[in-house]
Structure formats: C-alpha cells, structure tokens
Amino acid sequence: MNAFMGCLCSKKVRRKPGDKEPIVLASETPFTVNEVEALYDMFKKLSSSIIDDGLIHKEEFQLALFKSSKQNLFADRVFRLFDIKRNEVIEFGEFVRSLSIFHPDAPEADKVAFLFRLYDLRQTGYIEREELKEMVMARLGENGLSLSDDVVESIVEKTMMEADTKRDGKIDEEEWREFVKKNPSIIKIMTLSNLKEITVQFPSFVLNTEVPD
C-alpha cells in the first residue's frame, strides 16, 4: 500500500469538489477539510491515469497500488471494498471514506473489520481455510516472495489453530478480533503514515478555506 502514496507527485491543480463535499467528508473521517481537498488532487491524478472520466477504474487502482495492471487478488479485494456502490468504479466520496480507514488516527476496530472483509473472499461472514490460504499466497506474491506449498500450508494451519477457537473450520468476526488482539502486527498494513502528510505531498491543492480544520 505504501506504493499507493509514493508513486504520486504534485502538480498544479486548482479545481476542487463541490463546496459542501469536503466539509461532509471531513466530518465523517479523520481527515481535515484541507486534507480532503488535497486528496481530491490525488484522486484526479489516479482517475485520469488511463481513462479520464473522473472515476477510478480497477486498472488505474492496480497501477497505483502495484505499478502493474496485472490481475492481483489483493489489489482486486481492496478495490472491491473501496467500490462501496458495487458499480466497478470508485467515486471521490468512496475513495475518501475507504482511504480514511488507513489513516493513523482511524479507530483500530475499523481497521480490524476492514481486514476481516478483505480476507472474507466469498462474503459469507467467515474466513474459511481456503480463503486464508489464497490471501496468504496473494500477500506473498505482492511482496515478491515464493514459499513452498508445505510452508504455506504450515502458515495456514498455524493460523487456523490459533484463530479458530470454536474449532468449526472457519474464523468468525469475534474470533478474528481476538486473534488480531493477540497478534497486533497483522493490522500494520492497515495504516499509511503518509496520510498525515497529505497536504505536504500535495501542497498546490491546499486552498484557503473559510472552514476551520
């Protein structure tokens, strides 16, 4: 996810979303009004990287995340969670609300819940063994790592043994919360420290607003 922030650079842009939208989004997220305006600058860069229609398409999202348009399970899952309306594109409001979960000041409970949904590939309300294995392999591939099937199976088995306390072959949300509580490093990927410096990264878009942060 850090590539998501690092691959973007500042450019002179003086447009902004509707006057009320930054205020509403700031009230619903950890972002300030100025930070929402700076995020609009980022959003415009992403949404025009392939198709310039003011929306972020899956290919644009994957290029921002991994600098590749190749199919990637992890990128696909994150895209689908950002795509709240399920219309195969990400609008600005969806972008800000979803990205806010990765803010350092976002509630940990929101990060844990988002990660659960990320692993719940079939949207059953449970993380099943095969889903866990698929995501472990996807994360390894994302980091350029290749482990033998035996090692992957060992990781999955150890995780299921620790997380599936009800021994029913799947991990529910309650079990997931307890598992993350015991293994807090799991949600490190849910925090992008650069989001606290978004107005520094996109200084040209910080406008003089009459609304105090």
Cβ burial of 84 (10 Å; 0-12, 13-18, 19+) is middle
Cβ neighbours for 210, distance < 8 A, ≥ 6 positions apart: none
Percent of the chain past pLDDT 70, that is, above it, reads 82
Q: Residue 211's pLDDT band (boundaries 50, 70, 90)?
A: very low
pLDDT at 32 over 90: yes
Predicted confidence (pLDDT) at residue 113 exceeds the cutoff of 50: yes
pLDDT-based confidence at residue 66 (cuts at 50, 70, 90): low
Say what the pLDDT of residue 143 is. 73
Domain ranges of the chain: 16-104+193-205, 108-190
pLDDT of res. 139: 83
What global pTM score does this model have?
A: 0.81
Encode burial over 173-208: b for 16+ CB neighbours within 10 A, e otherwise.
Answer: eebbeebbeeeeebeebbbbebbeebbebbeebbee
Residue range 137-155: average pLDDT? 85
Look at domain 16-104+193-205 and name its CATH class: mainly alpha
Range 50-76 average pLDDT:
83
Confidence grade of residue 2 (pLDDT, cut at 50, 70, 90): low
Give the model's pLDDT for residue 184. Answer: 94
**How many whole angstroms separate alpha carbon 108 and alpha carbon 106?**
6
Taking CA 129 as the corner, what is the angle to CA 153 and CA 88, rounded to the nearest 5 degrees? 115
Q: Are domains 16-104+193-205 and 108-190 of this chain identical in fold? A: yes
Under CATH, to which class is 108-190 assigned? Answer: mainly alpha
Among the ranges given (30-39, 56-65, 150-159, 170-179), the one the predictor scored with the smallest mean pLDDT? 56-65
Question: How many Cα atoms are found within 13 Å in the side-chain-facing hemisphere of 26?
Answer: 19
Higher pLDDT, 16 or 100: 100
Residue 197, both tokens: 């410096």
Give the 3-state secondary structure of residue 124.
coil
pLDDT of 18 reads: 56
